[in-house]
Amino acid sequence: MDVIYRALCFIIDLFTSFMERIRPGWIERNKSKIDEWKLMAYAYSKSPIAVTGGILATITVILALFGPLIAWEPYWQYKVVVNPDLWLKPPCLPPSCSGYPLLGTDEWGRDIFSLIFYGYRISFIISVMVVVLGVPLGVILGLIAGYKGGYVDEVIMRLTDIFMAFPGLVLAIAFATILPQRIRGLLDASPQLKDFLLWIFALRPQEYGQLAALLSIFLALVLVWWPTYARVVRGTVLSVREQTFIEAARSLGLSTWRILIKHILPNILSPIIVFATFDLATAVLLAASLSFLGLGPQDPVPELGFMISKAGRFFPERSWWIVVSLGIVLLLIAFGWNLLGDGLRDILDPRTRRAIEVRARAKARAKAAKVKGG
C-alpha cells in the first residue's frame, strides 16, 4: 500500500511542479490544497476497496486503449467457413487440444479471448462518452435551476420529472429504435467525424452502419442520464446558495456564471465525481443490456451484450463458455468502477476520510510500539 501512496504523491508533485512552471508562485498559494490532496492519497492507499477498484479500473482503461492492438484475430474473419471444427468449440487447456483457442470460439469460429479485447474498447468508450456528455448536461441544468429559482427552476424541474416518469430503459429503447437513421444521415454528412468515431471504436469502415447503432445507444443513454444529476445538483445548490459566502460573492458584484462555476460547483463536486464513477459501471451495463435486446450493433461487431444474447440461443450446452467469459468481463469492468466509486466516496467525504486516517495512524503507532517493545 505504501507503494501506491508514494506513486500518488509523485503524480501530485509532478502536477504541482508543472503548475509552478507555468504560473510561478502556484505552490505557495495552493499549499493547503496540495496538503489535502496528499492526505486524500494517503487515505486512498489505506482503503483496500478503493485500491482494488483502482487496479481493476486501470486494467479496464489499459485494455480499452490497447485491446484492439493486442487482439490477435480480426473480429471480421469467420474462421468457421474454412474450418467447421471451430463452430462453438468449447474451451480446453493446451496439452489436450493445442492449436485451438483457450477460451473456446463463438458460432463464427472466432476466438472468444481475442474478441474480449475488442469488447473492452467498445464498452469502455460508450460508457465514458455517456458519462462525459450526460453528467455535465445534468450538472449545468441543475446549477441553473437551483441558482436561478422561480420560473426557470419550475420549467427545468418539470422537464426532469417528465424524463424520470418514463422508465429509463423504455425511453432508451425508443431512442435507440428511432435514432439510427438520423445518425446515419449525420455521419454521411461529415466523413471526418465518421472516420474518427470508427477509429475510437476500433471498427472497420465497412461497419459504419453498426456505428450508427452504437451511437444511437450512446445518445439514448445520454438523454435518459441527465435528469438524476439535474435533480441532485439542484438540491445541493439550493442549500449552498443561502450560505454567507455566496451572499458575499453576490454583493461583490460577481456575475452569475462566475458564482456558479467558481464558488458553487467546487462545493458540490465530490458527490458528482462519486456518482459519475458509479455511473461508468451503470452505463457499461445499460449499454450491454440495450444491445442484449438487439438494439445495438449487429453481427461482426464484437459488442459484449450482443454476443451474450447470441450465445443465449445455444445456452447452456453449446455456449456456456461464451456467457461465462463475456459475463465475467462485463462484471469486472463494472465491478472495478463500482469499487473505485465506493472507495472514493469514503475518501472524498471529509468525515469518513478523517476516520480512515485516524484508524491507519493508530494502526501504524501500535505496530511501531510493538516493534519497540519486542
Sites of contact with other proteins (CB under 8 A): 49, 158-159, 161-167, 169-170, 173-175, 177-178, 181-182, 278, 281-282, 285, 288-289, 292-293, 305, 308-309, 312, 315-316, 323, 327, 330-331, 334-335, 337-339, 342
Residue among 87 and 163 whose Cβ is closer to other proteins: 163
If we measure between CA atoms, which residue out of 2, 110, 12, 86 comes closest to residue 51? 2
Minimum distance between the CB of residue 323 and other proteins, rounded to whole angstroms?
6
Minimum distance between the CB of residue 314 and other proteins, rounded to whole angstroms?
11
Query: How many Cβ atoms sit within 10 Å of the Cβ of residue 134?
Result: 24
Residue among 86 and 304 whose Cβ is closer to other proteins: 304
CA 339-345-351 angle, to 5 degrees, is 140
Q: Where are the alpha helices (DSSP H) in 149-242?
A: 150-165, 168-189, 191-201, 208-241
Instruction: Give residue for cell 443490456.
Output: 289
Residue among 264 and 311 whose Cβ is closer to other proteins: 311
**H helix or E strand, kind and range, residue 202:** none
- At 44, which amino acid appears? Y
Minimum distance between the CB of residue 73 and other proteins, rounded to whole angstroms?
24
Residue among 214 and 333 whose Cβ is closer to other proteins: 333
Residue among 61 and 164 whose Cβ is closer to other proteins: 164
- CA 18, CA 20: separation in Å to the nearest integer? 5
Residue among 86 and 222 whose Cβ is closer to other proteins: 222
- CA 343, CA 29: separation in Å to the nearest integer? 29
C-alpha cell read off for 128: 465514458
- CA 166, CA 273: separation in Å to the nearest integer? 25
Minimum distance between the CB of residue 182 and other proteins, rounded to whole angstroms?
7
Minimum distance between the CB of residue 95 and other proteins, rounded to whole angstroms?
29
Minimum distance between the CB of residue 57 and other proteins, rounded to whole angstroms?
12
Roughly how many angstroms between the first and final C-alpha of the chain, as a whole number? 24
Minimum distance between the CB of residue 371 and other proteins, rounded to whole angstroms?
25
- CA 54, CA 47: separation in Å to the nearest integer? 11
Residue among 198 and 288 whose Cβ is closer to other proteins: 288
Residue among 193 and 328 whose Cβ is closer to other proteins: 328
Minimum distance between the CB of residue 338 and other proteins, rounded to whole angstroms?
5
Can you spell out the DSSP letters for 86-129? GTTPPP--TTTSTTS-TT-B-TT--BHHHHHHHHHHHHHHHHHH
Q: Exposed (0-12), middle (13-18) or buried (19+): which is 196, by Cβ within 10 Å?
A: exposed
